[in-house]
Amino acid sequence: MSYTTQMDAAKKGIITKEMEIVAQKENMDVKKLMALIAEGKIAIPANKNHKNINPDGIGQGLRTKINVNLGISKDCPNIDVELEKVKVALDMKVEAIMDLSSFGKTEEFRRKLIDMSPAMIGTVPIYDAVGFYDKELKDITAEEFLDVVEKHGKDGVDFVTIHAGINKETAEVFKRNKRITNIVSRGGSLLYAWMELNQQENPFFQHYDKLLDICEKYDITISLGDACRPGSINDATDACQIKELMVLGELTLRAWERNVQVMIEGPGHMAINEIEANMLLEKKLCHGAPFYVLGPIVTDIAPGYDHITSAIGGAIAASHGADFLCYVTPAEHLRLPNLDDMKEGIIASKIAAHAGDIAKNVNGAREWDNEMSRRRQKLDWEGMFKLAIDPEKARRYRRESMPEHADSCTMCGKMCSMRNMNKIMEGKDINILRED
């Protein structure tokens, strides 16, 4: 029996090789996985043309995944630098990379990225449109926007961010409800500007069925972008954010009717006490579709430390149902991240995702922590390093300050609680002041 997309296969009761791989990774019964894909609660972004993909699932009951944003810009157009970041990100086992290139040889970078990456690849086609056509934004036609999506599909892109929810109705709600930071989504602001300049409906909303044709053809997952995501905690959970979310819920159902997989994108900047409610709203309004969040960044005052502000929000979001975290680096709001910024962002997001998985009781999440605790109790330093989320940094810290006694560290020395409790539990004496 033939099928067009992972969702189409799932509805027909066909277990694909991608489903088998994901089920094994997640230690989930493959028939349960298939049922959740058929319902739209899990997506496996895997373009038919991405030949070397090692697929991952995103959604209900699965590990929280993380995404890394990379790509060239007009101010930083060095492809080799970005490809080096790609290599390191893949070495760090990220599940997804988004190519946000917006200048120059975007096609060259995108194709190299897809060829070398077993991780899923995402793009924001509207970023590519201005450079690809060498036209001012207002002069690009609706058909040309869709043609860029088709081009990305042919190249093997697994998921595309499409800001289809900022239609005329949503724009009117935005105009009536003032914000401090207006529209901070880059793609969302470009589409809003195009609509205002041309006095026309959002082309991705107006021609949504044509967009679905393209996505079904290549099995591209639509990541429905949140043009109205809050760019400050003041703007969170306001009228236009919720209005757009309602539109995205309607677009989700239309996509599922065509067997096109969907993810929903979410905030953004948001106070801690609003995160849980936002996760519930998305799952309710968008029918349980996987939720992909940027942050949320929980305070606006920490430029240079937004990998921390977002990890706080990401952990809370994941614990309440977010399925996919977009990393945030220390360079957020300041500049294009360098290699070290990227590493810090990845580690912070991995910590947040894992913390969320513990709270969600994801299969096997706690066992990692429990095994680390057992190694600590035994003062098994090498075992601890192997289990660490960043073994290199853990080894370096220990190496930089070696203790007199190997069964301790330079913080506590022979007063180490683990060392002394082990001795007492074994019926031995404790010699803190005496030599061994």
Domain boundaries of the chain, sorted by first residue: 64-359, 364-400, 403-436
Residues annotated within a binding site for [4Fe-4S] cluster: 409, 412, 416
Taking the model in full, what pTM does it have? Answer: 0.95
The pLDDT value given to residue 212: 98
In whole angstroms, give the CA distance from residue 260 to residue 220.
7
Residue in 287, 332, 292, 289 with CA at minimum distance from that of residue 309:
332
Question: Which run of H or of E encompasses 120?
Answer: strand 120-123
Neighbouring-strand partners of residue 264: 224, 291
Residue 42, pLDDT > 80, answer yes
116-145: average pLDDT: 94
Give the whole-angstrom CA distance, residue 149 versus residue 151.
5
pLDDT at 436: 66
Binding residues, by number, are 69, 98, 127, 163, 185-187, 226-229, 265, 269, 292, 333, 409, 412, 416
Residue 211: per-residue pLDDT? 98
196-233 burial, b for 16+ CB within 10 Å, e for fewer? eeeeeebbbbebbebbbebbbebbbbbbbbbbbbbbbb
* Whether the Cβ atoms of residue 268 and residue 230 lie closer than 8 Å to each other: yes
- The domain 64-359 is placed in CATH, from the list 3.40.50.300, 3.30.300.130, 1.10.760.10, 3.20.20.540, at 3.20.20.540
Mean residue pLDDT of the chain comes to 96
Give CA–CA dist 195/192, Å, rounded. Answer: 5
Work out the average pLDDT over 119-140.
Answer: 93
The pLDDT of residue 82 is: 94
pLDDT above 90 for 333: yes
What is residue 430's predicted lDDT score, i.e. its pLDDT? 87
Residue 191 pLDDT greater than 80, yes or no: yes
CB-CB neighbours of 271 under 10 Å: 16
Q: Which residue ranges make up the annotated binding site for substrate?
A: 69, 98, 127, 163, 185-187, 226-229, 265, 292
Q: What pLDDT band is residue 405 in, cutting at 50, 70 and 90?
A: confident
Confidence band, pLDDT 50/70/90 cuts, at residue 105: confident
pLDDT in tens, 241-273: 999 999 999 999 999 999 999 999 999 999 999
Q: Strands 42-43, 58-59: parallel, antiparallel or unpaired by DSSP?
A: antiparallel
Query: Are β-strands 159-162 and 96-99 bridged in parallel, bridged antiparallel, or unpaired?
Result: unpaired
At residue 279, the pLDDT reads: 98
Q: What is the pLDDT of residues 3-40, one digit of tens each?
A: 999 999 999 999 999 999 999 999 999 999 999 999 99
The answer for residues whose C-beta is within 8 angstroms of residue 354's C-beta and 6 or more apart is 64, 365, 368, 389
Binding residues for Zn(2+): 269, 333
**10: closest CA among 324, 1, 153?**
1
Comparing 173-182, 191-200, 258-267, 409-418, which segment has the lowest mean pLDDT?
409-418
Which pLDDT does position 375 carry in this prediction? 97
**Average of pLDDT values for 392-404?**
94
State pLDDT tens for residues 373-390: 999 999 999 999 999 999
In the chain, what percentage of residues exceed pLDDT 70? Answer: 100
User: pLDDT at residue 371 above 70?
Assistant: yes
Residue 364 pLDDT grade (very low, low, confident, very high; cuts 50, 70, 90): very high
